[in-house]
Structure 1
Amino acid sequence: MPLLTIITITYNAEQFLERTLRSVAKAARLVPGVVDEVEYILVDGASQDGTLQIAEQYSSLFTRILSEPDKGLYDAMNKGLSLATGDYLWFLNAGDEVHDGQVLSRLLHAFQDPADVYYSDALFVDDSGQEIGLRSQVTPHALPKEIHWQDFALGMKISHQAFIVRRTIVPAYDTTNLSADIDWEIKCLKRSQKTVYLPFVLCRYLTGGISARHRRRSLLDRFKVLRGHFGLFPTVVNHIRIVARGLRFYSFKK
């Protein structure tokens, strides 16, 4: 049984997929015996472009490639969860990258001190691959060295691609909510007996995505998620704090 399952979700992702696959291949080459320690699964939503042809060029990298119609991103992610056999799960979607060639070896070393959740910062990049900055520096979401689910009262503290979870504690994603990733992380942290901060950056995160494209619905769905975990009145108050914090942060940045 592998220690780590990396899952990549794609749909018509030919523009960015190779960026992800190159980064995984580079990191894997630097880890002796990585074939036994890491499995790599691609879940594709029946892409109509060159996504699968690109994936086939890296076929030796994959343990499993599944391509079939799905009901959206979180349905595909649930399929990935059902296929995974590793002790830990890491989602890297098309366009996201392993931060550098040392990440996998450092991550496998960290697993020697078992925890339920590992997390770190994420480096934001744009479509061209140009670095924007660490998430904790270019957004209002500072990243604490110790974290609890209650810290999500003001929004998502950890990038989804910098959040690695023991497979035995993960819930399914809510396929009806565009902010299901926040809900999933909170639920994982509620179940975690030990959560560990990693002192190195796990990933290069491609900004944008479904939440950015459907901003208004995503914000409403985030409110629903936080209301479910924190209650209505605290969530209303906290959203006022979120707006005020954002205004202060971006005013200061200017």
Structure 2
Amino acid sequence: MKETILSIITVNFNNNRGLINTLESVKQQSFTSYEHIIIDANSSDGSKETIIQYAKETTHLTYWISEPDNGIYYGMNKGIEQAHGEYLYFLNSGDCLKEDVLSQIQFDGTQYIYCDITVILPDNYKLHRDIQ
């Protein structure tokens, strides 16, 4: 079996709409050497049901949990503890991957990978930021 290159860690709390968008952006990727880990902080807005449905639709979801925790960084650390990939990618609920972006990354042993971001504001106004 091929080794998992990428562990995508998604942390969520009461952001079901954002979580749905995040999961859709992950499902649209052609890159397949990843696992997806979702840490939910005991949401009460339908997020748990969304995760259960996502688990039925993909084999990439290797771990998920919905329980109270002590905040976003606590959730990120729980995700790290479950990760098996060579690289970690924090894609929180509400964040979305650009179309097929994972297939464009050269996983060549580089220690850090970063990218540009586009912030979508109300009224679909897009603010692009180059990270240098």
The TM-score normalised by the length of structure 1 is 0.48
1:131: Cα distance to partner? Answer: 4.1
2:129 partner amino acid: R
- Work out the CA distance in 2 between the residues paired with 1:131 and 1:17: 20
- Work out the CA distance in 2 between the residues paired with 1:54 and 1:71: 22
1:42 partner amino acid: I
1:84: Cα distance to partner? Answer: 0.8
- Indicate the SS of the match to 2:68: coil
Provide Cα deviations, 1:61-86, integer angstroms capped at 9, x if missing partner: 41111111100111111111111110
Task: Give the match for residue 25 of structure 2.
Answer: 23
Asked if residue 50 in structure 1 is aligned to residue 49 in structure 2, the reply is no
- Work out the CA distance in 2 between the residues paired with 1:131 and 1:2: 36
Provide Cα deviations, 1:123-169, integer angstroms capped at 9, x if missing partner: 111266x2422123xxxxxx33xxxxxxxxxxxxxxxxxxxxxxxxx
Task: Give the match for residue 105 of structure 1.
Answer: 103
Instruction: After TM superposition, list the pairs within 5 Å mapping 1:115-154 onto structure 2.
Output: 115-126=110-121, 130-136=124-130, 143-144=131-132
Task: Give the match for residue 80 of structure 2.
Answer: 81
- Work out the CA distance in 2 between the residues paired with 1:13 and 1:118: 27
- The 1:127–1:21 alpha-carbon spacing in structure 2 relative to 1, beyond 3 Å, is farther
2:74 partner amino acid: D
Deviates more, 1:38-47 or 1:113-122: 113-122
Query: Which residue, out of 40, 59, 64, partners 2:36?
Result: 40
Q: Structure 1: where are the runs of 5+ without partners?
A: 137-142, 145-254
1:103 partner amino acid: V
Q: Which has the larger radius of gyration?
A: 1
1:48: Cα distance to partner? Answer: 1.3
Which has the larger share of strand? 2
Question: Are the aligned partners of 1:123 and 1:131 in contact in 2 as well (CA < 8 Å)?
Answer: no
Number of residue-to-residue matches in the alignment = 127
Q: Tell me how large the CA RMSD over aligned residues is.
A: 1.5
Which has the larger share of helix? 1
2:121 partner amino acid: D
- The 1:127–1:76 alpha-carbon spacing in structure 2 relative to 1, beyond 3 Å, is farther
Q: Structure 2: where are the runs of 5+ without partners?
A: none
- Work out the CA distance in 2 between the residues paired with 1:127 and 1:74: 27
1:47: Cα distance to partner? Answer: 0.9
- Indicate the SS of the match to 1:66: strand
- Percentage of matched positions with identical amino acids: 36
1:123 partner amino acid: T
- Work out the CA distance in 1 between the residues paired with 2:97 and 2:17: 17
- Indicate the SS of the match to 1:63: strand
1:14: Cα distance to partner? Answer: 1.2
Asked if residue 14 in structure 1 is aligned to residue 16 in structure 2, the reply is yes
- Work out the CA distance in 1 between the residues paired with 2:51 and 2:122: 19
